[in-house]
Amino acid sequence: MMLAATKARAAIVPSQSNKVETVIFVTSFIRARRFYNGIFQCRPEQDDIYFGTVQYSLPQRIVKLKTARNRTPTALDTELRIPVDDFFYEYQRLQLLGVEQVGAVSENCHGEISMKIVDEDGNVLTIVAQQWI
């Protein structure tokens, strides 16, 4: 996966539910939707092509994609805690999808394993998984 010349911007905003809402601004709505469908392994909960918004509802987070019309986009580095049973299976699955990884897989003192990936607009997402022993 190649980094696009233009970057995207995201923001974390309060949600009406108890979930944290992350808004990611992208330059190509169709391309970004295809990328995130593969990452989240689901289709969007809401899809509004006219206003350029897609919403994914994850277990602890709502992720919205919005097109960056009339904006100077900049990249964002955000952390998505996606609960997985087998981190290394998820790692291999993302590699097969052609997702670009930034840096190495790391493990912290709490047993959380993480990896950073980049979407096609340059947004850096950190996938964090708690290893259950």
> Which domains does the chain show, CATH number per domain?
9-130 (3.10.180.10)
Overall average pLDDT of the 112-116 stretch? 88
Overall average pLDDT of the 78-107 stretch? 85
**Confidence bin at 94 (pLDDT 50/70/90):** very high
Amino acid residing at 84: V
Q: Give tens-digit pLDDT for 4-55.
A: 333 444 444 444 557 888 888 888 888 888 999 999 888 888 888 777 788 9
pLDDT of residue 35: 93
What is the Cα–Cα distance from 123 to 133, expressed in whole angstroms?
Answer: 32
pLDDT of residue 93: 92
The string of DSSP codes covering the chain is -PPPSS--EEEEE--SSSSEEEEEEES-HHHHHHHHHHHHTS--SEEETTTTEEEEE-SSEEEEEEE-TTS-----EEEEE---S-HHHHHHHHHHTTPEEEEEEEE-TTSEEEEEEE-TTS-EEEEEEEPP-
- Mean pLDDT taken over the chain: 77
pLDDT of residue 86: 82
Q: Are 103 and 58 in contact (CB under 8 A)?
A: no
**Confidence bin at 110 (pLDDT 50/70/90):** confident
pLDDT of residue 73: 60
pLDDT of residue 4: 32
Q: For residue 116, which of 64, 60, 54, 39 has the smallest C-alpha distance?
A: 39
Per-residue CA distances from 62 to 16, 55, 80, 86, 105 (Å): 10, 7, 10, 22, 25
> How many Cβ atoms are within 10 Å of 131's Cβ, its own excluded?
14
pLDDT of residue 88: 87
Q: Give tens-digit pLDDT for 96-105.
A: 999 999 989 9
